[in-house]
């Protein structure tokens, strides 16, 4: 009955609240998809729901334990997943939309990477270089040593030469920067591959079969350069061909002109199961929290003094305030502030010297009718009045 009452009395603000949180939860899922942090995020949501249920059922010990562990858990998750959190914050950076993000132009850094690859091939240094695109590759690779740098010839030769402890593995490039070295890729299970292909070629195909990343292979034996994408291997003849492929890899996809109706339809239909599930989860959480009864809020409210006789003035207190404790549903009481409470006190019967007025619930007007006044402190205000001095003509 209480849930039905909440649904029938839902406001525009409540609908916007649910839709806004649904959008945030949906994009958090997309950003964390493919990362280890997603499982932790799901577990965090489950713990939050458990905490809310325990609190609503009055499980004192369970609620107390969650309140202590909750703060420790949040700090622990921030420490463990600081890399993923930083990447998410970089994705939502508003300056990127205006072309104000850090990094080189695509043509510049792809040219640097092309020079580095051919420098490796000339020296017969084997290499495996991952170009991450839209899909995250962490769930498909293992190992790896975090590093930071530009994909130039000096860095790549230093990393892939046999004397380097990081030469055995692949290099990961994300957002124009080298971020990981010595990571291992899954091997392809395809049969009938050329006999002269080594482990690097099989690893490059294995990764591109599982995500949209492109992988550059530099052969140590023949000094040749190949590019793996979408589960196929392409031999590259010269520098121009590699540069063209790299520009295609990092170029933004060209979108065809579509009408507003088509855009809305695509927005509703694309990944509709995930969107519907997110909306349902947020709605359930909102109903659990919004339906909590006996949520109290304490406000310090100024008293509006009216009808003071024109021949009198107030000596003290000139700006009285009272503490109002209100109770109601969480969704109503939690948004209540002092501006939503109006207390008027009629001073038409004021007399000289001291006079005391009682403050009752009848003097309080609330913006929300579903909220009750629990108590008012103080319940009396004592004023001191005196006669106004007549100004000489």
Number of domains in the chain: 3
Same domain, 145 and 61: no
Question: Does residue 158 fall inside a structural domain?
Answer: yes
Domain that holds residue 358: 295-387
What's the Cα-to-Cα distance from 98 to each of 93, 102, 105, 221, 259, rounded to whole Å? 10, 11, 14, 45, 24
Same domain, 215 and 111: yes
Same domain, 121 and 240: yes
Question: Does residue 392 fall inside a structural domain?
Answer: no
Asked if residues 152 and 146 have their Cβ atoms less than 8 Å apart, the reply is no
Q: Identify the domain boundary among 196, 226, 250.
A: 250
pLDDT tens across 293-313, in order?
567 889 999 999 999 998 899
Rounded average pLDDT over 149-172: 91
Average pLDDT, the chain: 82
Q: For the chain, give the number of residues.
A: 393
pLDDT > 60? residue 2: no
Same domain, 330 and 371: yes
* Ordered DSSP codes for 310-378: TTEEEEE-SS-EEEEEEEE-HHHHTT--GGGEEEEEE-TT--SEEEEEE--GGGEEES-TT-EEEEEE-
Q: What is the CATH number of the domain that holds 348?
A: 2.170.120.30
Same domain, 270 and 303: no
pLDDT class of 175 with cuts at 50, 70, 90: confident
Same domain, 78 and 111: no
Same domain, 116 and 240: yes
Query: What is the pLDDT, as a whole number, of residue 27?
Result: 81
Question: Does residue 255 fall inside a structural domain?
Answer: no
Same domain, 276 and 348: no
Same domain, 285 and 338: no
Question: Does residue 265 fall inside a structural domain?
Answer: yes
Same domain, 181 and 280: no
pLDDT > 70? residue 378: yes
Question: Does residue 101 fall inside a structural domain?
Answer: no
């Amino acid at each position: 009955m209480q849930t039905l009452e909440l649904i029938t009395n839902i406001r525009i603000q409540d609908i916007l609240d649910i839709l806004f949180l649904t959008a945030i939860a949906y994009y958090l899922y997309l950003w964390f998809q493919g990362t280890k942090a997603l499982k932790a995020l799901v577990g965090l949501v489950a713990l939050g729901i458990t905490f809310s249920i325990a609190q609503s059922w009055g499980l004192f010990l369970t609620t107390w334990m969650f309140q202590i562990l909750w703060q420790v858990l949040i700090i622990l998750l921030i420490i463990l997943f600081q890399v993923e959190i930083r990447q998410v914050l970089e994705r939502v950076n508003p300056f990127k939309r205006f072309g104000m993000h850090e990094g080189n132009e695509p043509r510049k850094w792809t040219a640097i990477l092309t020079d580095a690859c051919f420098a490796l091939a000339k020296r017969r240094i084997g290499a495996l270089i991952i170009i991450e695109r839209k899909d995250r590759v962490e769930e498909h690779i293992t190992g790896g040593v975090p590093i930071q740098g530009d994909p130039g010839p000096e860095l790549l030769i230093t990393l892939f030469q046999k004397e380097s402890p990081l030469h055995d593995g692949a290099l990961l490039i994300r957002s124009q920067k080298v971020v990981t070295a010595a990571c291992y890729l899954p091997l392809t299970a395809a049969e009938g591959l050329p006999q002269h292909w080594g482990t690097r070629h099989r690893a490059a195909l294995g990764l591109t079969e599982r995500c949209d990343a492109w992988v550059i292979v530099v052969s140590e034996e023949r000094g040749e350069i190949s590019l793996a994408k979408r589960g196929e291997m392409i031999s590259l003849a010269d520098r121009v061909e590699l540069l063209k492929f790299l520009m295609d890899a990092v170029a933004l996809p060209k979108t065809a002109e579509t009408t507003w109706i088509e855009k809305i339809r695509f927005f509703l239909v694309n990944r509709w199961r995930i969107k519907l599930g997110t909306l349902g989860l947020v709605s359930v959480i909102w109903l659990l929290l919004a339906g909590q009864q006996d949520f109290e809020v304490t406000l310090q409210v100024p008293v509006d003094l009216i009808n003071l006789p024109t021949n009198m003035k107030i000596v003290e207190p000139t700006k009285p305030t009272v503490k109002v404790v209100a109770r109601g549903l969480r969704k109503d009481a939690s948004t209540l502030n002092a501006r939503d409470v109006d207390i008027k006190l009629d001073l038409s019967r004021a007399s000289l010297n001291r006079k005391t007025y009682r403050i009752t619930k009848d003097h309080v007007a609330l913006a929300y009718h579903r909220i009750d006044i629990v108590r008012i402190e103080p319940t009396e205000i004592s004023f001191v009045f005196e006669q106004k001095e007549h100004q000489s003509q």
